Amino acid sequence: MLVVIVVIVVMRHAMLPSLRFAEPIIVRWATMRNTAERIAGSIDRVIAAIGRAATWCCLYIVLAEFAVVVMRYALGIGSIRLQESVLYAHAALFMLAAAWTLQVGGHVRVDVFYAQASPRRRAVIDLVGAIVFLFPFAVAVAALSLPYVGRSWAILEGSRETSGLPLVYLLKALIPLFAFLIGLQGIAQAIRAALVLAGPRAP
């Protein structure tokens, strides 16, 4: 879908007004544009829902860490499982909300040209950034982590501590899931950038 959109963008800016098949191409482009917008919108909604759900981990982290401190220093009781659950919640928060943060532009950006750029130039930066940097990064993380996670699932890996949580395999599964979500959001970002470069919707 993304490749087709980029091809149509190039064709739209080429010198084709005299060709007989130009009008059918424009008609098909309008249909494809609507489809692309729906796909990007659906991805955004899914990513936002997952991100908002992950933010509840913040509340759990605060409450659980407070409980750990009170139990240890006021009651003299320690809980390895509770301490490890804070680590799990912390990992889930960052891994699951990273794509949503990208969607709303919340990641740290070394901004030299982007803030003052025109919408078209921003679209070029977003499209090139997604294709050249974001997608290779997501693919690399997924490819490198899958064998690692697969070995953990094969033995249902648990905590090294006797009283720890027996769910390390689920914790490690967040790595390829992070790569999938960030790549999915990259697709939505690239689609929207390509649509901006294609110009306004035809009347």
- Left if phi > 0, otherwise alpha if psi is -120 to 50, otherwise beta: which for 107? beta
Q: Which domain holds residue 177?
A: 38-105+112-197
179 belongs to a structural domain? yes
117 belongs to a structural domain? yes
- Summarised one tens digit per residue, pLDDT across range 123-173 is 898 899 899 999 999 999 999 999 999 999 999 999 988 888 999 999 999
Least confident of 15-19, 33-37, 137-141, 176-180: 15-19
d(CA 60, CA 90): 9
152 belongs to a structural domain? yes
48 belongs to a structural domain? yes
45 belongs to a structural domain? yes
CB 196 within 8 A of CB 172: no
The domain tally of the chain equals 1
145 belongs to a structural domain? yes
**pTM score:** 0.80
d(CA 152, CA 175): 12
8 belongs to a structural domain? no
25 belongs to a structural domain? no
Helix 80-103 crosses helix 168-197 at what angle (to 10 degrees)? 10
What rounded mean pLDDT belongs to the chain? 84
Return the structure tokens found at 12.
Answer: 């739209």
d(CA 179, CA 108): 18
Q: In which band, very low, low, confident or very high, does the pLDDT at 89 lie, cut at 50, 70 and 90?
A: very high
